[in-house]
Amino acid sequence: MKIVLAYSGGLDTSVLLSWIKEKYQAEMIAFCANIGQGEELRGLARKAKKTGASKVYIEDLQQEFARAFIFPMIQAGAIYENQYFLGTSIARPLIARRMVEIARAEKADAVAHGATGKGNDQVRFELTAAALAPELEVIAPWRDARFRSAFPGRAEMIAYCAKQKIPVEASAQRPYSMDRNLLHISYEAGILEDPWLDASSKEHRAMYKLSVSPEEAPDEPEYVTLDFRQGDCVAVNGKPLSPLGVMQTLNQLGGKHGIGRVDLVENRFVGMKSRGVYETPGGTILHFAHRQMESLTMDREVMHLRDSLIPKYSELVYYGFWFSPERLALQALVTESQKHVTGTVRLKLYKGNIITSGRKSPVSLYNPHLATMEADPTKAYNQDDATGFIRLNALRLKVAAQVQQKR
> Hey, which residues are catalytic here?
12, 92, 121, 177
Beta carbons within 8 Å of 142's beta carbon, 6+ residues apart: 12, 114, 115, 116, 117, 118, 122, 148
CB 213 within 8 A of CB 203: no
Residue type, 11: L
**What three-state secondary structure class fits 383?**
coil
CA dihedral defined by 152, 155, 158, 159, rounded to 10 degrees?
A: -90
Beta carbons within 8 Å of 135's beta carbon, 6+ residues apart: none
CB 89 within 8 A of CB 61: no
**How far, in Å, CA of 104 to CA of 57, rounded?**
14
**How far, in Å, CA of 141 to CA of 232, rounded?**
40
For residue 175, is it left (φ>0), alpha (ψ between -120 and 50) or beta?
A: beta
User: For residue 251, what is the enclosing H or E element?
Assistant: helix 243-256
For residue 211, is it left (φ>0), alpha (ψ between -120 and 50) or beta?
A: beta
**Distances from the Cα of 244 to the Cαs of 93, 117, 232, 306, 353, in angstroms?**
18, 32, 12, 25, 23
CB 282 within 8 A of CB 261: no
